[in-house]
Chains A and B, each alone.
Chain A
Amino acid sequence: MLEIFNDLIKEKMYKYEHKSGLNVFVMPKKGFIKQYAIFATHYGSNDREFIIPGESEPTHVPDGIAHFLEHKMFEEESGSIFEEFSKNGASANAYTNFTTTAYLFSCTDNFYSNLRLLLDFVQRPYFTDENVEKEKGIIAQEIRMYDDDPSWRLFFNMLGGLYHVHPVKIDIAGTIESISKIDKDILYKCYNTFYHPSNMVLFVIGDIDVDKVAEIVNDSVKSKKRDGHIKRIYPDEPTKINKNYVEQKMSVSMPLFNIGFKDNDIGYGGKRLLKRDITTQICLEILAGRSSDLYEELYNDGLIDTTFDVEYVGEVDHGYSIIGGQSVDPEAVKKALIAKISSIYKVDDADFYRIKRKLLGRFIKSFNSVESIAHNFISYYMKDINILDFTSVIEDITPDDVLDRFKTYFNEDNCVLSIVKP
């Protein structure tokens, strides 16, 4: 068992690889009442086309299938697995995003019994024609809920502007039409391909015993034979954006906007990606964060309000920044932003070190919550990053790195404006 320390935040985690290929991480949190576990597979809505190990022809699957599969995993031959968690006083849940499907529970009691339940149910699919059909009505309502959510539409319209063919532009839950094509055979096929322990990770956190976790993993996780690797097929995405403007009308009180910048510095994970991630966050804070000149100008001009926010999303095979909020004139916001970008020729030391302090403080703070730690851990793990490396990576970043990122990444050619209008 490998011990990983971070002296600055005084946390450690234990790592070990089960013989099935499953990676297990345990982070003890003394004094915390809540316990949390996530069992996740490296499989999300982006995996629309792939070659199953042992086969030679690609398989295409309907959009929304990873999410559909997530819903159906909770069904057991004997009923719903929710029932077993509820009897233990635990709360079970799951989520699917572009790259990951994750099953989780939180509890304050019966942790080891809940952990067994989690490992067992995720390894035990039970799909029938009837239970698959039944789920379509529920997911249809979930899709409708998102269709009526202006922020969600705004976000996907922006992705549609950034990307020509990359699957990230497709809604995670699919459409009512695409999910109608899902049946039990195709669910089993996806399950058998992606829910192999070697494609999965377990993260547990709380005031718990590391050895006892290992014992339960050894008992519960089954080794399965596997010939070769999954080959994921992604279309070739051009570096240029698809459209620089997307607009939709919805029932909102004033225009909402997302300005997206497409990142083409992609194709790697690990510490290098973490460095790109943090460097870009520093850029965004200096450019348009709450202490920036631009924020002050736009705010005083009545062009933005406190909903205005900046974010970078850095994945292995794609990346983008989002600058968004609500505004009476989103075009004017974009114009001011582009003008500001082209006027940046140096990075002020005071700004740079202040933002670094802020990001470091926020990182330390995130270790207050077992949920935040678990979710951040999984999100970074899927990019081959260990969350505890944050402090050493941020320390290495220099003002020159930030300036270089400004020059190479932020420009009008890779920028999309998405608006939802009343």
Chain B
Amino acid sequence: MSIIKENIANGIELYVNKLNKFKTVTINIYISNKLSHETAKFALLPSVLRRGSFNFKTYKEITKHLEDLYGAMFAYSIYKKGERQIAQFNMEIVDSTYLKEDILEESVKFISDVLLNPLILNDGFEQSYVQQEKEKQKNLINSRINEKTKYAVERCIEEMCKDEDYSIYELGNVDDVDKIDEKNLYEFYKKAIKRLPIDIFVVGNVDVDKVKEFFNKHFKIERTNVEVIPDTPILRKIDKVKYVEDKLDVTQGKLTLGYRTNVNPWDEEYFPLLILSGVLGGGPFSKLFMNVRERESLAYYAQTRLERFKGLMLVMSGIEIKNYEKALEIIQKQVDEIKSCNISDYEFNSSVKALVSSLNSIKDSGTQLADFYLSQKLSHTDYSIDDFIKKIEKVTINDIVDVSKKLQLDTVYFMTKNEE
């Protein structure tokens, strides 16, 4: 597998990975910003751009064009990797092998049009689009509460990182959305498209030269003073564990434990940390599954998640409310077991194999490949998937115990029910 990288403009990198096994070609464009008071604005841009461009003036026209392109997928999402906020535009089109025509250039032209050639009136975006999308964004921010499992994790992170930019929600807050209008958003857009880092990944059965040609021809912007997004601070010493409780109208309690890993994304220790997270809660072989679920029947799910770019490890589970103390004790005990080197060969080997398997699986998805390469770029590591796997396979149980000593419990969050 070879990936070709080219600078198509100041601060815009195009990566092309030619692979002929897919039915589609995927194009992913990532624009990055720093989490800040601009977060709400940055988050609003993709949805306003999706409403209409100079050539396709309405949502309906854009959608019809995509449907004509054999149901080309075009989606955007906003998320964060550390304190870097990312707007991802994802387009997926059917490969010409399966059609009577080649729609790649048309697709590059389309995505360029939506991103670079917006519908502008009187030096601002279309007013009604901005107003409607602001309402939508506020609704999305408010509806975080609907998905309790996810919300319980987000709330833990928010409390944990209260005085850090990482606590900023990826869509910003309602007050900041209210301050946006079609003029200041357009001002911000002009600056963003000129100065923020842009990475483009194309994966599929494509002619590499053609891809370069199409992007050079259609994705044209003047770029100056390109910004560098700083790396997110990771190291943190915890003096006292925070305990936070939210009361909601729920029947199940959600317990989340937030740990600081104190491991930078580029550290060699990141590899043992990944296996540690697996041993603790990465599958049915893990300590949490075996103890919280199978031995004690306390939960249906009990698992871990790593936030590589902020140095966090989250432990999450859904439990009977009255079992809070017991679950908390058992979860912390599993972490202590790792710290005192109580890791079986089975737990260790299973965790390594599960990781290797999921890394290898990335090769079967264009968008996952793009995300993998983006993550390497952001962590200043230049690993291929196979390099990454080799790193994982070199880790020993002792390396895991060493990195476990850096773990510090920061916050215990519990979502419980309203007492009536």
Stretch of A119-127, A180-188, A249-257, A313-321 with 4 or more beta carbons under 8 angstroms from chain B: A249-257
Contact call A33/B67, Cβ cutoff below 8 A: no
Identify which of residues 325-372 in chain A touch chain B, using a CB-to-CB cut-off of 8 Å.
326, 354-355, 357-362, 364-365, 367-370
B243 CB-CB contact with A under 8 Å: no
Query: What number of residue pairs across chains A and B have CB atoms under 8 A from each other?
Result: 184
Query: Which listed residue, B59, B94, B249, touches A361 by the CB 8 Å rule?
Result: B94
Q: Is the CB of B356 within 8 A of A89?
A: yes
Contacts of B118-150 to chain A: CB distance below 8 A: 128, 132, 135-136, 139-140, 142-149
Quick check: which of B20-28, B268-276, B372-380 contacts chain A, the rest being far away? Answer: B20-28
Asked, given contacts A91-B357, A296-B59, whether A305 binds B139 with beta carbons under 8 Å apart, the answer is yes
Asked if B256 is at the interface of the complex by the 8 Å CB criterion, the answer is no
Residues of B within 8 A of A370 (CB): 364
Q: Identify the closest chain B residue to A355 (Cβ).
A: B67
Whether the pair A91, B285 counts as a contact (CB closer than 8 A) is: no
Chain B residues in 8 Å Cβ range of A10: 97-98
Given contacts A86-B285, A253-B142, A326-B139, contact A365 B92 (CB under 8 A): yes
Contact A109 B357 (CB under 8 A): yes
Distance (whole angstroms) from the CB of B20 to the closest CB of chain A: 7
Instruction: Tell me if A272 is interfacial: C-beta within 8 Å of chain B.
Output: no
Interface residue B87 (Cβ < 8 Å from any Cβ of A): no
Q: How far does the Cβ of A421 sit from chain B's closest Cβ, in whole Å?
A: 12
Most chain B CB within a 10 A radius of its CB, from A30, A33, A300, A369: A33
User: Is B191 an interface position by the 8 A CB rule?
Assistant: no
Docked pose: A151 CA to B146 CA in angstroms: 9
What distance in Å separates the Cβ of B227 from its nearest Cβ neighbour in chain A? 29
B285 with A88: CB separation less than 8 A: no
Cβ–Cβ contact A108 & B251, under 8 A: no
Distance A295 CA – B22 CA, assembled complex (angstroms): 32
C-alpha gap A364/B70 in the complex (Å)? 9
Contact B293 A138 (CB under 8 A): yes
Q: Name the segment of A141-149, A164-172, A411-419 touching the other chain.
A: A141-149
Known: A10-B98, A253-B145, A364-B23. A141 touches B250 (CB 8 A): no
User: A252-273: which have CB < 8 Å to B?
Assistant: 252-254, 256
Within 8 A of A (CB), among B300-333: 300-301, 318-320
List, in ascending order, chain B residues with CB within 8 A of A326's CB: 139, 143
Max count, chain A CB within 10 A of own CB: residue among B92, B144, B318, B353: B353
Complex contact A31–B21 (CB within 8 A): yes
Which listed residue, A88, A251, A306, A367, touches B250 by the CB 8 Å rule? A251
- For window 52-109 of B, CB contacts with A under 8 Å fall at 58-60, 63-64, 66-73, 92, 94, 97-98
Of all chain A residues, the one with the shortest Cβ separation from B321 is A144
| Tally of A interface residues using CB under 8 Å | 72
Which of chain A's residues 1-54 have a Cβ closer than 8 Å to chain B? 8-10, 29-34
User: Which residues of chain A are near B299, meaning CB under 8 Å?
Assistant: 138, 141
> What's the nearest-Cβ distance from chain A to residue B318, in Å?
5
B132 close to A86 (CB less than 8 A): no
Q: Assess A251 versus B63: contact at CB under 8 Å? Given A31-B21, A141-B300, A150-B146.
A: no
Number of interface residues, chain B, beta carbon within 8 A: 69
Do B71 and A360 have beta carbons less than 8 Å apart?
A: yes
Q: Mark B139-181, 1 if CB is under 8 A from A, else 0.
A: 1101111111100000000000000000000000000000000
Residue contact B59 to A299, C-beta cutoff 8 Å: yes
Our pick among B71, B147, B298 for the contact of A365 (Cβ within 8 Å) is B71
Q: Determine if A86 and B283 form an interchain contact, defined as CB atoms under 8 angstroms apart.
A: yes
Q: Are B139 and A290 in contact (CB under 8 A)?
A: no
Q: Do B357 and A82 have beta carbons less than 8 Å apart?
A: no
- B230-265 interface (Cβ within 8 A of A): 248-252
A358 touching B350 in the complex, CB below 8 Å, given contacts A291-B60, A299-B132, A364-B98: no
A251 lies within 8 A of B364 (CB): no
B384 within 8 A of A: no
> Once bound together, how far apart are the Cα atoms of A65 and B200, in whole Å?
49
B297 CB-CB contact with A under 8 Å: yes
Contact, CB under 8 Å: A80 / B284: yes
Within 8 Å CB of A139, what residues of B? 300
**Cα–Cα, bound, A52→B60 (Å):** 54
**Which residues of the other chain, A, contact B66 by a CB distance below 8 angstroms?**
358
Complex Cα spacing A182 to B69, Å:
52
Chain A contacts with B in 212-254, Cβ cutoff 8 A: 250-254
Q: In the complex, how many angstroms separate the beta carbon of B182 from the nearest chain A beta carbon? A: 16
Whole-angstrom distance from the CB of A388 to the nearest CB of chain B?
Answer: 14
Known: A296-B60, A358-B70. A148 touches B297 (CB 8 A): no
Asked whether A302 is an interface residue with its Cβ less than 8 Å from the other chain, the reply is yes
Instruction: Give complex CA distance A141, B92 in Å.
Output: 38
Selected from A9, A89, A147, the residue in CB contact (under 8 A) with B354 is A89
Are the C-beta atoms of A357 and B128 separated by less than 8 Å?
no
Kindly state whether residue B346 has any CB partner on chain A within 8 Å.
Answer: yes
CB-based contact A138/B297 at 8 Å: yes
For A256, what are the chain B residues with a Cβ–Cβ distance below 8 Å? 146
| Contact present for B24 and A147 (CB under 8 Å) | no
Out of B128, B249, B365, name the residue touching A250 (CB < 8 Å): B249
Q: Cβ of A83 and Cβ of B142 under 8 Å apart? A: no
- On chain A, the residues within 8 Å of B59 by CB distance are 290, 296, 299
* Shortest distance from the beta carbon of B311 to any chain A beta carbon, whole Å: 27
Residue B349, interface by CB 8 Å: yes
A144 CA to B415 CA in the complex, in Å? 14
B82 to chain A, nearest CB (A): 27
A145 to B293, CA, bound (A): 14
Residue A288 lies at the interface, judged by CB distance under 8 Å to chain B: no
Which of B69, B283, B319 makes the CB contact (< 8 A) with A141?
Answer: B319
A-B contact pairs, 17 of them (CB 8 A): A9-B23, A29-B21, A31-B20, A33-B361, A82-B284, A87-B346, A92-B284, A134-B297, A141-B252, A142-B300, A148-B252, A253-B143, A256-B146, A291-B64, A305-B140, A358-B71, A361-B72
Given contacts A85-B284, A108-B361, A135-B297, 15 further A-B contacts (CB under 8 A): A8-B98, A32-B21, A34-B360, A137-B298, A141-B298, A141-B300, A141-B319, A145-B300, A149-B147, A251-B250, A252-B143, A357-B68, A361-B69, A365-B24, A365-B92
* 8 cross-chain pairs, A with B, having the tightest CB-CB distances, nearest first: A89-B353, A361-B70, A137-B297, A358-B71, A361-B71, A82-B284, A31-B21, A86-B350
